[in-house]
Structure 1
Amino acid sequence: MKKDVHSLALTRAGIDTYRQPVVYMREDCDLCRAEGFSALTKVGIVLGERSIVAALNVVTAADWLSREDAGLSEAAWQALNAQDGDLATFFHPEPAQATSSIRAKVYGQRLDAAACQAIVSDTIGHRLSDLDLAAFITACAGNRLDIDETIALTRAMKEAGQTLDWGQGPVLDKHCVGGLPGNRTTPIVVAIVAAAGFRIPKTSSRAITSPAGTADTVEVMTPVALDLAAMRRVVDLEGGCLVWGGKLDLSPADDLFVRIERPLDFDSDGQLVASVLSKKAAAGSSHVLIDMPVGPTAKIRSPEAARSLSQRLLAVGDALNLKLLIHHSDGSAPVGRGIGPALEARDLLAVLRRDKHAPLDLRERALDLAGALFDLIGDDAHRGRSKAVELLDNGAAERKFFAICDAQGGFSEPGAAAHRLPIVASSSGLVRAIDNRRIGKIAKLAGAPNRKLAGVLLMTKPGVRVDQGETLYEIHAETPGELAWAKDFAMAGPEPVILENQS
């Protein structure tokens, strides 16, 4: 291909920008100067039959990039299916249609169905900048999306991707709104429900702001990045699966919204509902149980907030023909002992194996949720929990879990971190509370969830008396540097394990 004034040779920058296409040009690049491109400009790129819109980053000094080349982030490289040296054409893209709707929302106007569709379409087409998306997320924060707007956004997000069809009969699902470290009930619930003969094709996310998501934890034990054909095969064989939803193109705009929500560290009730229910509807679910932990340091902090969110979930679920049940649970402290992928995996395996040292709170929560799902579909005249207990205690759930793992590619026992540091009580007292957010932050600074063996192992619970010098929790890390980083944070601020009667 002959190079023209609008062309540059492509090179792979090797930079992960988490699904955002980014192009890198030198500031003295002829094309960059001639076209008036500047940092954060949206730039169109055409290569053969493929085209994308990417955000421009201007490089002021770099030996790796010449004036004749354009570097591409991993997301841009894969979207164009580029090869080193390919000549691509660059152009100024038309402004995204959704920007006017976002601006209107910032100034307090409502979003109709067409506006929501435009925002979702331009989001997945990468025609909106991070600043545009941040403005949209912020404009919707709090309760600035009403019920009708939430329904419109949920439908637009669901319709933007593919929808799975599992045929006749109930398709069960379970989701937790999050905010509670260690609350890894989903794999246990899936095993119990599938052991009872019901379909529960569970798609899960990786962690957004927590030390582990269900997909992160299950991936310690079995592959989760299955495509749709492999997922269907597992469900056909075993009735259930535990799969990461990122490869299935279900509600694709959601992952891009989450990419912005993560550094902002907030979302709205409306966006939370749209995120959860768009994926449930797209996954082909018919009966969905929503676990909503409520506590002073959980995501949902008060009964009033729980009631408001529950009403919104039920209204949107009804509009999407989903049969929903909201389960309010205790969110005052972490669940189980482990916080982090491998540590949480060890907890849930202990429950499934009926180990006498298994965390009782994790077992009881999982049984409550599995029983509620049975009741939701009208099974056995509200004897759901006793049925769940039977399937767990007789080993059927354990056998089903390992059968699912085998079908997904095999099972591996969770490993253990090489570096550990006990944090001890500075005085004697009764454990009054454990700060979910602070203990979760320590686990993340230790490396979780990207470091699968990292996290926090709790050695006590609220209501337990501890003596001075007794271990409250252990920090687990895969490297000494990450252990030191987590230790510095743990030592610098308020103790996450809060004691009464300190002296």
Structure 2
Amino acid sequence: MAQGIFFFVVGPSGAGKDSLIEGARAQLGDTGRYVFARRTITRPSGAPGEDHIGVTEAQFSASVSAGAFLVTWDAHGLSYGLSADLLTALGEGCNVIANGSRKMIRQLAGLVPRLVVVEVTASLDVLAARILARGRENALEAGARVMRQVEPLPVDIETIRVNNDGALEQGVSAFVHALANASQRVRLRRVPISTGLERVAYLPLHSAVLSVGDYLGGSKVDLLADTASLSVQIQGLDAPGLLAADEIGLSEEAFAHWRVAEGAEIALRRTPSPASRQALIQKVQGQELGEPEYEMLLRDIIEGRYTDGEISAFLVSATRSLSDAEVVALARVRSRFSPTMTWDRPIVVDKHSMGGVPGSRITLLVVPIVAAHGLAMPKTSSRAITSAAGTADAMESVARVDLDIADVQRCVAEAGACIAWNGRLNHSRVDDVMNAITRPLGLDSNRWSVASILSKKLTAGSTHVVVDLPYGPRTKLRTQAQARELGDLFERVGAGLGLTVVAFATDGSRPIGRGIGPSLEVRDVRAVLANDPEAAQDLRDKALFFAGQILAWDPAIGSVEAGRRRAEELLTNGEANAAFERIIDAQGRRAPVLPGALTFAVCASAAGEVSALDGWRIGELARRAGAPADKSAGIDLKVGLGDRVTAGQCLYVIHGSNSADLQSASLLAQMSDGVTVTPIA
């Protein structure tokens, strides 16, 4: 049996709530489907107004102590309570109607299976006239009462509004109709129709319970059964042999997904809610939204209550206009859609890079340096989307990265840090829905990205975050000014979220390190950790810069300069190398992937000086060779910017393990190798 609905009736003085409830009692009281709650109030019974249970303050306090009330509140010098027995009525399938206070809505929503707020409204003139008619207040007092500011209704809780401006009969009719629309139930039936990925429900065109036309159209509808819900598209069906007049049918796929038994009583709720749809419209129009609106909107989006067209309109607007406050709100909301890690440490550090620079695998150096010092760094990283390697791809060539929360906590306890793939940890369901639409449309927004990135830092339990913002002709941020502007946004939003965030614009005009591709980048990292004199100096320097920034957050270090010195000490004395090995062991050591044995050398066609390295082109060649899926594939650079080369000298070597991929990469390199050699006069 489906549980009943708790209709919580609110509205200003003079709206006529009691009158509408009494009118509804006269029409619905004998149906057995509704329970009209009597409030317990600390005023004598028989006083003018509603039929209530009058008690003394001492009796009320005793009932509170005995757990007799579902909720209680104070107003106008009186105490009010609703009986806990109402939960029994709900469990038996009855709908409860109660007059209440809007300040109790949030608490009540967490106590009952389904809460529907019924807001009774009327114009200010009507409200004032009704208050005056009571004879308890003068015109000035009545005016002050109707103009009094009231707490706004929660936008994420189902609300229906009933206007009671006119005659009582009209108001009662509208009130009863609203209750019926929200509470009508039908029996579930499986329909032998396949709809593929679409979840479709069918209403008989001549339904004896519902007005089918009210549910047809583009918007989706929630089906409610006990605590389970399913968002579906409604279609009409004129087939009495398949659906009776009091039934609703589910397609094969929807029925298999929901797993609610045939014959179960189902309630329908139009979705998105009017408040949610209004929020979407406001954002499409370029208006600013708050945290409650974004939580409601994103929840409706990821639960499939909006069409792709509606989501696209929302995202187009959101990528064009988001205030700082909205970015903070979005980050907070997004973090609620992923599990959050908690740490019993005052400082938990993290690092993020906007990427776009081939090589530059500094995270695999920064993390062990920080861990060797003793700060906790549960680093979660992504896999490559358009590059030759992401941090998770590189780390996976030597260790397991698909960790869960328990694994991360264990690794931090054992090794002080981890370098894990975020797809299993704090990849938000929001990303799955949003990326499916934004990527084909080419939508991009730095502000939306900041909300996404910092939400992941929140769910990782971070307190301090350093951000690397590479700029250059082939990176996401073209100029230093753009990078600095985005860095300021990161820091402002971080402060709004209670995080300490510092961001730095860095040169992204050329590759960092020599290897491009998972195994080759790890090779470079190991060379730096081993203090190999042939190790890439640019990779080492950049890692020390960011490690120094992080270590400066330790009060015992105190400054960035001291942090840099401490980072270099840990690297030089081998403690960072040992920490890296501990992290690998904690995550699950794998036999290291070596650079692919199949190679093709790309050589200079003429002598001169290397004046430019096109990282984007070189990264494309590494991907053509098979990276990052083939962790042995990639590019091994043999020259750097400013080096002098002779004709025929090797510029780089392409590695791979698949001959067809290597041939494809070599042909592409012969068309354009990505290295500009300028003749020397």
Structure-to-structure mapping, 1:40-51, within 5 angstroms: none
Q: Which amino acid aligns with 2:551?
A: F
Q: Deviations over 1:416-439 (max 9, x none)?
A: 224332222233222222223222
> Residues of 2 paired with 1:99 and 1:468: CA distance?
66
Asked which structure has the greater CA Rg, the reply is 2
CA contact (8 A) 2:393 2:518 kept: yes
Q: Which amino acid aligns with 2:400?
A: P
Q: Which amino acid aligns with 1:422?
A: A
Q: Which amino acid aligns with 1:216?
A: D
Structure-to-structure mapping, 1:64-83, within 5 angstroms: 80=257
Structure-to-structure mapping, 1:143-292, within 5 angstroms: 144-249=321-426, 251-264=428-441, 267-292=444-469
> Residues of 1 paired with 2:564 and 2:447: CA distance?
31
Q: 1:277 to 1:481 in 2, by over 3 A?
A: same
Structure-to-structure mapping, 1:250-399, within 5 angstroms: 251-264=428-441, 267-382=444-559, 383-399=562-578
Secondary structure of 1:452's aligned partner: coil
1:468 pairs, out of 638, 643, 647, with 647
> Residues of 2 paired with 1:501 and 1:100: CA distance?
64
The structural deviation recorded for 1:406 is 0.7
Structure-to-structure mapping, 1:385-464, within 5 angstroms: 385-464=564-643
> TM-score scaled by structure 2?
0.60
The structural deviation recorded for 1:274 is 0.7
Secondary structure of 2:558's aligned partner: helix
Q: Deviations over 1:197-243 (max 9, x none)?
A: 11111111222332211111111110111111121111111111111
Question: What is residue 660 of structure 2 aligned with on the other side?
Answer: 481
> Residues of 2 paired with 1:198 and 1:160: CA distance?
27
Question: What is residue 293 of structure 2 aligned with on the other side?
Answer: 115
Q: 1:4 to 1:155 in 2, by over 3 A?
A: closer
Q: Deviations over 1:234-286 (max 9, x none)?
A: 11111111111222245442354345444555521111111111111111111
> Residues of 2 paired with 1:186 and 1:366: CA distance?
7
Q: 1:235 to 1:24 in 2, by over 3 A?
A: same
Q: 1:43 to 1:338 in 2, by over 3 A?
A: farther
> Residues of 1 paired with 2:521 and 2:224: CA distance?
45
Q: Which amino acid aligns with 1:403?
A: R
Q: Deviations over 1:95-129 (max 9, x none)?
A: 54566645543443333323321332134324455
Q: 1:52 to 1:348 in 2, by over 3 A?
A: farther
Q: Deviations over 1:40-93 (max 9, x none)?
A: 9989999999776699xxxxxxxxxxxxx9789xxx99xx599xxxxxxxx999
CA contact (8 A) 1:206 1:213 kept: yes
Q: Which amino acid aligns with 2:292?
A: A
Q: 1:435 to 1:394 in 2, by over 3 A?
A: same
Q: 1:42 to 1:497 in 2, by over 3 A?
A: farther
Q: 1:406 to 1:217 in 2, by over 3 A?
A: same
> Residues of 2 paired with 1:237 and 1:360: CA distance?
30
The structural deviation recorded for 1:136 is 4.0
CA contact (8 A) 2:388 2:619 kept: yes
Secondary structure of 1:364's aligned partner: helix
> Residues of 2 paired with 1:219 and 1:81: CA distance?
37
> Residues of 2 paired with 1:132 and 1:468: CA distance?
58
CA contact (8 A) 1:250 1:282 kept: no
> Residues of 1 paired with 2:680 and 2:315: CA distance?
43
Instruction: Give unmatched runs, 5+ long, in structure 2.
Output: 1-187, 206-211, 213-217, 234-250, 260-266
> Residues of 1 paired with 2:268 and 2:394: CA distance?
43
Question: What is residue 124 of structure 1 aligned with on the other side?
Answer: 302
Q: 1:388 to 1:249 in 2, by over 3 A?
A: closer
Question: What is residue 677 of structure 2 aligned with on the other side?
Answer: 499
Q: Deviations over 1:285-339 (max 9, x none)?
A: 1111111112222222212101210111111100111011112222111111111
Q: 1:475 to 1:153 in 2, by over 3 A?
A: same
Question: What is residue 316 of structure 2 aligned with on the other side?
Answer: 138
Q: Deviations over 1:396-432 (max 9, x none)?
A: 1111111111111124322222433222223322222
Q: 1:452 to 1:136 in 2, by over 3 A?
A: farther
The structural deviation recorded for 1:378 is 3.8
> Residues of 2 paired with 1:487 and 1:263: CA distance?
30
Q: 1:453 to 1:280 in 2, by over 3 A?
A: same
Q: 1:304 to 1:461 in 2, by over 3 A?
A: same
Q: Which amino acid aligns with 1:464?
A: D
Secondary structure of 2:504's aligned partner: strand
Q: 1:172 to 1:6 in 2, by over 3 A?
A: same
Secondary structure of 1:441's aligned partner: helix
Larger deviation: 455-464 or 172-181?
A: 455-464
Q: 1:485 to 1:50 in 2, by over 3 A?
A: farther
> Residues of 1 paired with 2:656 and 2:258: CA distance?
37
Q: 1:203 to 1:427 in 2, by over 3 A?
A: same
Secondary structure of 2:527's aligned partner: helix
CA contact (8 A) 1:418 1:479 kept: no
> Residues of 1 paired with 2:403 and 2:599: CA distance?
33
- The alignment yields a C-alpha RMSD, in angstroms, of 4.0
1:6 pairs, out of 187, 191, 209, with 191
Q: Which amino acid aligns with 1:428?
A: A
Instruction: Give unmatched runs, 5+ long, in structure 1.
Output: 14-21, 26-30, 56-68, 83-90
The structural deviation recorded for 1:130 is 5.1
Q: Which amino acid aligns with 2:650?
A: T
Q: Which amino acid aligns with 1:176?
A: S
Question: 2:283 aligned with 1:105, yes or no?
Answer: yes
> Residues of 1 paired with 2:291 and 2:312: CA distance?
20
Q: 1:170 to 1:428 in 2, by over 3 A?
A: same
The structural deviation recorded for 1:466 is 2.1
> Residues of 1 paired with 2:190 and 2:390: CA distance?
47
Q: 1:250 to 1:334 in 2, by over 3 A?
A: same
